[in-house]
Amino acid sequence: METVVSGIRSTGKLHLGNYYGAVQNFIKMQHEYNCFFFIADFHSLTTHPIPKDLHGNVKQVLVEYLACGIDPEKATIYVQSDVPEVTELYLYLNMNAYMGELERSTSFKDKIRDQPDNVNAGLLTYPVLMAADIIIHKATKVPVGKDQEQHLEMSRTFGNRFNRLYQVDYFPEAYAFNYSTNLVKIPGLTGKGKMGKSEGEGNAIFLSDSPEEIRRKVMRAVTDGGPLEMNQAKPDVIQNLFSLLSAVSSADTYTHFDDLYNNCQIRYGDLKKQLAEDMIIFTAPILERINDISSNSEYLRKVSKMGAEKARESASKTIKEVREIIGFKSF
């Protein structure tokens, strides 16, 4: 059975981008593959979270994984820092990762722009740690959103380089995965690129948002004066709303508003109202489960302990073999 690995950084609440880009696939894949889904708390250190927030953010992602329907009996759910073997593999891979290729990564360039006062080495080697996460379990499929495609390419580079250097056929290649043919990029509501936590207030709809918050954010989404000609191409801000509609609403709803747009009869207020209500219908059961699970500390402890044990078993097997390949021997 093929192995699947994916993770989400512990930077707080999950949004619809995380859901449609990643978690939606996790839920389906857990029935078909040997799955490892983790909370990337090491990765979140690149932005220097204060210790008080770190644990709460890890817990938030764990609770939301479970609330979305990841089943700890089917998939291995764990916290990255509970599996120290990953840092050992990260160290080995770092010896064969080159400055030039790391500096050229799009995510590194974005980070330099976003946090110019904190361009730390962890940011530079972020894709190396990510490769270690993936290949430590010898995964071949990685359910992620479009923004992670380049990281997957780098992961293959590092795994292949290890194989070549030691003349082994040890690490398989892992590819970004989505059930639909294309990887997903869910746009934000403020007209500025993808939905994301760092893209400013009002840009992201969180799974734990209340109905009022969802309505408020959606109704404030940027629009334009409306189409002037029949079948006119949609400008980005309008296309974003239609992309959200296609993710959250039914095909009939999408077609209804698309026809209105093409016939110059669209009223964006109606579209936004419908979009907000569909988002509320979608998130309501998740929100209810988030509230239930977050107070059940006993259950969360059990899940994370069980996941850590299973993940360590798999990771330590790899590390033992990697040490032998590299030439470490005990006296």
Q: Is residue 144 involved in binding ligand TYM (CB under 6 A)?
A: yes
In angstroms, the CA 174 to CA 2 distance is 10
Cβ 267 to ligand TYM shortest distance, Å: 27
Q: Is 274 exposed, middle or buried (0-12, 13-18, 19+ CB in 10 A)?
A: middle
- Closest approach of ligand TYM to the CB of residue 227, in Å: 26
Which span (46-54, 143-151, 158-166, 216-224) binds ligand TYM, by CB under 6 A?
143-151
Specify the residue, 61 or 303, whose C-beta has the smaller distance to ligand TYM: 61
Catalytic residue among 13, 192, 234, 310, which?
192
Residue type, 98: Y
Instruction: Please indicate whether residue 111 is annotated as part of the active site.
Output: yes
Continuous segment of H or E residues that includes residue 128 = helix 126-135
Question: Under the criterion CB under 6 A, does residue 77 sit at the interface with ligand TYM?
Answer: no
Structure tokens at 32: 């078909």
Catalytic, 273? Answer: no
Count interface residues toward ligand TYM (CB under 6 A): 27
- The 3-class SS string of 201-245 reads CCCCCECCCCHHHHHHHHHCCCCCCCCCCCCCCCCHHHHHHHHHH
- CA dist 144 and 148 (Å) reads 6
Evaluate whether 80 touches 7 at the Cβ level (below 8 Å): yes
Instruction: Determine which residue in the list 138, 194, 215, 272 makes contact with ligand TYM, applying CB under 6 A.
Output: 194
SS3 251: helix
Contact residue for ligand TYM among 97, 154, 186, 207 (CB under 6 A): 186
Binding-site member from 41, 82, 133, 278 for ligand TYM (CB under 6 A): 133
- The strand order across the sheet containing 3-9 reads 76-79, 34-40, 3-9, 141-143, 175-177
Any contact of residue 62 with ligand TYM (CB under 6 A)? no
Q: 197 catalytic, yes or no?
A: yes
- For position 125 contacting ligand TYM by CB under 6 A, the verdict is no
**Residue 93 interacting with ligand TYM (CB under 6 A):** no
Q: State the catalytic residues.
A: 111, 192, 197
Contact positions toward ligand TYM, by CB under 6 A? 5-9, 17-18, 20-22, 40, 43, 130, 133-134, 142, 144-145, 147-148, 151, 184-186, 194-196
